[in-house]
């Protein structure tokens, strides 16, 4: 069976990067099946995503990484090699609203999202029936300002026990502390119910209604310590009018939230996103 992988690269731009990398892959016996690249001229940063195949009798992936390392490190590249057979393990965090949770679970069941869901974790018990109907463990971790540190410690323990690679906040209405983010150290994707940077924080639909906007949106982004300010992966908008009440904005917004979050999760699972300077390069 052919072995396949994705190689993600970023580094300061210089002549010959593409030629050097592709020549090294050729020397290793690789057949490049797809390649995409981007140059940020202002930052003078180069980004590339390469999919390639190797014969079935090629060395194991750690040996391939060791053979690539001298070339890529000499170019001062930040890089990662992701074997195609490696399936990411995902945990979903949610509060009371279940529309994004249902959507993610259904898309995975239908084969649209290539991941293993490990569990659903919530600060409320409301979505337990949803998780259990999909055969997933459900963990209720209530939280108050006084218990936040203990709740995050238990959350971290669960994520480590489940060997989670990715956390998705599917309308999890809690702010994760900087200490938790640093200790977890893996990607977390959030869906925010506005077109950031407009209306960050709480009650964006109500604030959009008060402002009388003609477009509302949703934004999926990586979570950082600064609220709703992490690198943006995906966004979309829909039109509104003066006839729309707050409930109409919420209904329209929920449709967007499902779509935008699913797109962002899919892009991440397919290793199509590179981050730098609080921005992303997203290879289509």
Look up the CATH number of the domain holding residue 77.
3.30.70.260
- Residues 233, 124 share a domain: yes
- Residues 184, 53 share a domain: no
- Residues 102, 71 share a domain: no
- Asked whether the predicted pLDDT for residue 71 surpasses 90, the reply is yes
* 28 vs 149: CA distance, rounded Å: 49
Catalytic residue flag (residue 13): no
Does the pTM surpass 0.85? The reply is: yes
- Residues 127, 59 share a domain: no
Strand pairing category for 279-282 and 188-192: unpaired
* 232: containing domain: 89-282
Domain end (from 36, 52, 83): 83
- Residues 95, 35 share a domain: no
Q: What is the pLDDT of residues 126-166, one digit of tens each?
A: 999 999 999 999 999 999 999 999 999 999 999 999 999 99
201 torsion bin: left (phi>0), alpha (psi -120 to 50), beta (else): left
Q: Read off the pLDDT of each residue in 201-217 and give the average, rounded to a whole number.
A: 87
- Residues 95, 77 share a domain: no
pLDDT for position 209: 83
* 131 vs 115: CA distance, rounded Å: 16
- Residues 232, 262 share a domain: yes
pLDDT for position 202: 83
Residue with tokens 């502390």: 177
- Asked whether the predicted pLDDT for residue 99 surpasses 90, the reply is yes
- Residues 167, 36 share a domain: no
- Asked whether the predicted pLDDT for residue 123 surpasses 90, the reply is yes
pLDDT for position 170: 98
Task: Compute CA 157 distance to the chain's CA centroid, rounded to the nearest angstrom.
Answer: 21
With b for 16 or more beta-carbon neighbours within 10 A and e for fewer, the 116-148 pattern comes to ebbbbbbbeeebeebbeebebebbebebeeeee
Furthest CA-CA distance within the chain: 65
228, 247, 248, 255: which is the annotated catalytic residue?
228
Number of domains in the chain: 2
- Residues 75, 93 share a domain: no
Percentage of the chain modeled with pLDDT above 90: 88
């Amino acid at each position: 069976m052919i072995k396949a992988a994705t190689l993600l690269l970023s580094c300061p731009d210089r002549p010959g990067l593409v030629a050097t990398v592709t020549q090294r892959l050729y020397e290793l016996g690789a057949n490049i099946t797809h390649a995409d690249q981007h140059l940020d001229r202002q930052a003078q940063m180069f980004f590339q995503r390469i999919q390639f195949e190797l014969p079935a009798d090629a060395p194991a992936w750690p040996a391939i990484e060791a053979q690539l390392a001298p070339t890529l490190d000499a170019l001062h590249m930040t890089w990662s090699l992701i074997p195609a057979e490696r399936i990411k393990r995902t945990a979903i965090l949610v509060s009371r609203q279940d529309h994004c949770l249902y959507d993610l679970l259904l898309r995975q069941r239908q084969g649209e999202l290539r991941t293993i869901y490990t569990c659903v974790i919530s600060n409320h018990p409301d979505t337990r029936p949803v998780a259990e109907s999909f055969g997933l463990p459900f963990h209720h971790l209530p939280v108050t300002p006084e218990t936040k540190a203990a709740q995050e410690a238990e959350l971290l323990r669960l994520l480590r026990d489940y060997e989670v690679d990715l956390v998705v906040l599917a309308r999890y209405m809690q702010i994760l502390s900087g200490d938790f983010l640093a200790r977890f150290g893996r990607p977390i994707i959030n869906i925010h119910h506005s077109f950031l940077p407009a209306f960050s924080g709480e009650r964006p639909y109500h604030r959009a209604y008060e402002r009388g906007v003609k477009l509302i949106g949703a934004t999926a982004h990586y979570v950082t310590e600064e609220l709703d300010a992490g690198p943006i992966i995906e966004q979309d908008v829909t039109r509104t009018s003066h006839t729309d009440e707050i409930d109409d904005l919420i209904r329209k917004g929920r449709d967007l939230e499902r779509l935008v979050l699913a797109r962002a999760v899919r892009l991440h699972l397919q290793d199509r996103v590179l981050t730098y300077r609080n921005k992303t390069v997203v290879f289509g």
